[in-house]
Structure 1
Amino acid sequence: MRDLHLPLNQTQRVRLEAALHELQTLAPAAASAAAVTVADNIPVNHEDNILKGHGTTDQDGEVVATLCGVVERVNKLVYVRTLRARYKPEVGDIIVGRVIEIAPKRWRLEINFSQDAVLMLSSMNLPDGIQRRRTAVDELNMRSIFEENDVVCAEVRGFQHDGSLHLQARSQKYGKLQRGQLLTVPAYLVKRRKLHFHHLEQYDVDLILGCNGFIWVGEHVVVREIADLKEDEQKLSAEAETFTPIETRRHICRLANAARLLSALGFTLTVELIIQTAEASVSSNVEINDMLGAEFYVQTAEGEAKRRGDLLGKKR
């Protein structure tokens, strides 16, 4: 059960095994055929002069997998993509990270990658919103923008020759994240999509699904225009006195527990599935602190199996 170790009774264990078995039978045949374990033979056409990539080896004239994962084919290249691997960034990815160090003209962020990411002072908008050359005063005021342990949303800008990852935050939708929860899930459960920022209007909550497996659930923040920044500065003292309403906090905790539960079950995280799980907990009168319990865990697996079965029936 991955990250959750729940004390299931005999009935719950039987129900869970039945739901997981049904989910396995509903999986597409092509996906099942592409999955391999260590020492499995990978069917290839040797006349095509294939190229053996990562996770493969040649044994007695056959291509054999050396990793557990899914077989991928790109033209003549055949390789195995591991499922539970670390995050592999691509240019344009939306990521959520945590500041771990403030260096000269840059911040270093932990983003679940093999190396720390770098956010340059010149790669983000200044608090005044004016596009200008960064000065020594701006460098001295870096700690007033981000400090250690701050949660930041940014975009992957590119790679340097030494393999380091550079980020950028030149839009108003990027920047410091406050008043919420940061969740860590396996990166392969978050698929790359066109939209990773979600405003859940019914809950007044922002949901950011980071491609690196960091998920942010927090109070909704209205994106201000640059012209309104000076007016916002005058309201800083008033905003400091405000706090997140209790009802919004409950919504944040419920959605966060829904994401934790789906991650423990190994389901791909989408905004629709997270909302559906949260609404199912409300309709079942499950308290927020009981969402990670054994009974709702089994109910979620059964509900997902039923949903996928209904979708498959409609397609037929």
Structure 2
Amino acid sequence: MRDLHLSLNQTQRVRLQAALDQLESYAASTAAASASVTVADTIPVNHEDNILKGHGTSDLDGQVVATLCGVVERVNKLVYVRALRSRYKPEVGDIIVGRVIEIAPKRWRLEINFSQDAVLMLSSMNLPDGIQRRRTAVDELNMRSIFVENDVICAEVRGFQHDGSLQLQARSQKYGKLEKGQLLTVPPYLVKRRKQHFHHLDQYNVDLIVGCNGFVWVGEHVETSEKESTLLSDKPSGKQEINSSVPLETRRHICRIANAVRLLSVIGLTLTVELVTETVEASLRSNTEINEMLGSEFYVQTVEREAQRRASKVRKRS
């Protein structure tokens, strides 16, 4: 229950404990099926030859033992342990959300919830005129017309530079500056790599971008053509005029979805667009106010609902 200071009454405590016990039983059965290990557990390899010991494993008296808690994974001859909770480890192609912290020569430096800052080179960014050409000294002088400090940006991991820093790229119109929304931070292990990290919640007119690095963006939906017209603007980014204010109903939806993400993060559930949408709809059905979504009663209801969902899933399998 980190980040939430809940005052539960006796009834809520009993309900919460019952739901947590049910969730733990399902988690234990799933972990057993996935060959989970703790530190110093022996990993059976059936005396195979040429076994490659990967991350989270070590050789002790001729046996492969685990050096961290997690799930045993095998890829051909490679045996490694995948930690259940870990820091963000970038991979090429990851969709990330970051914040600009510095404008350096020919590059922007971003905070992306990683041990090092990421770098977005001017050459890896679409120019405002949309023409593919070599970057000139004039382009470098006009970098502030694209991004300035504290701007929130969506980009893709391109690779690692020779000095170990992370290099990004934003060569598509779906990437770029994010405005009119909220930036949330969740533990990166709650975000699984999927085919789609951009979600348009049409019924709420809201965009949800779940970054692999644990940064989540919830903001007003922006069409690609509108984003392109913003990039083509000649006005500096820090002085752009807001063409239209966000409607009140949309702002309420943004706050409600953001609170759903916060609540699921505190509970420790893997963030999926289906689970976020289900939590938002549950708050609307129960007439729960936006500020009450982080309260005791809705917290207990969410845990109970997750326990019921997993129970129904187990019944369907059986």
Q: TM-score, normalised by structure 1?
A: 0.92
| 1:232 to partner: Cα distance | 6.7
| The one of 288, 304, 307 aligned to 2:306 | 304
1:45-124 mapped onto 2 (5 Å cutoff): 45-124=46-125
| Identical-residue share of aligned pairs (%) | 77
**Partner residue, 1:20:** 20
Coordinate RMSD, CA, aligned: 2.4
Please say which of residues 122-131 and 306-315 is displaced more in the overlay.
Answer: 306-315
Q: Which amino acid aligns with 2:274?
A: E
Range moving further from structure 2, 248-257 or 35-44: 35-44
SS in 1 for 2:225: coil
Q: Equivalences for 1:225-264 in 2 at 5 Å?
A: 229=229, 233=233, 240-264=242-266
1:275, distance to aligned residue in structure 2 (A):
0.6
Q: Is the 8 A contact 1:129 1:229 kept in 2?
A: no
Taking the aligned partners of 2:30 and 2:303, their CA distance within structure 1 comes to: 23
Q: Give the equivalent residue in structure 2 for 1:10.
A: 10
2:224 partner SS: coil
* Structure 1 segment 119-268 matched on structure 2, within 5 A: 119-224=120-225, 229=229, 233=233, 240-268=242-270
| Aligned partners of 1:128 and 1:229 also within 8 Å | no
CA apart distance, 1:26: 2.6
1:269 aligns with 2:271: yes
One-letter code of the match for 1:25? Answer: S
Pairing 1:290–2:292 present: yes
> What's the CA shift string for 1:153-187, capped at 9, x where partnerless?
00111122322211110111100001100011111
Q: Cα distance, 1:315 vs. partner? A: 3.0
Q: What is the rounded CA distance, in whole Å, between the counterparts of 2:171 and 2:83 in structure 1?
A: 33
Are the structure 2 counterparts of residues 215 and 39 from structure 1 closer, same or farther at C-alpha, using a change threshold of 3 Å? same
TM value normalised by structure 2: 0.91
Deviation per CA, 1:16-70: give whole Å up to 9, x if none: 2221221232348453352222222322222334222222223344332221222
Segments of structure 1 that go 5 or more residues without pairing to the other structure are none
Unmatched runs of 5 consecutive residues or more in structure 2: none
Aligned residues: 315
Distance 1:69 1:199, change over 3 A: same
- Which amino acid letter does the alignment assign opposite residue 289 of structure 1? N
**2:119, 2:232 → 1: CA distance?**
28
CA 1:147–1:156 in 2, change beyond 3 Å: closer, same or farther? Answer: same
Closer, same or farther in 2 for the Cα pair 1:85/1:139, shift >3 Å?
same
Moved over 4 A (4+): 234-239
8 Å CA contact 1:67–1:82 kept in 2: the answer is: yes
Q: Structure 1 residues 60, 233: closer, same or farther in 2, change over 3 A?
A: closer
Instruction: Tell whether the 8 Å contact from 1:265 to 1:301 is kept in structure 2 after alignment.
Output: yes
- Larger deviation, residues 157-166 vs 1-10: 1-10
Whether the 8 Å contact between 1:128 and 1:230 is mirrored in structure 2 is no
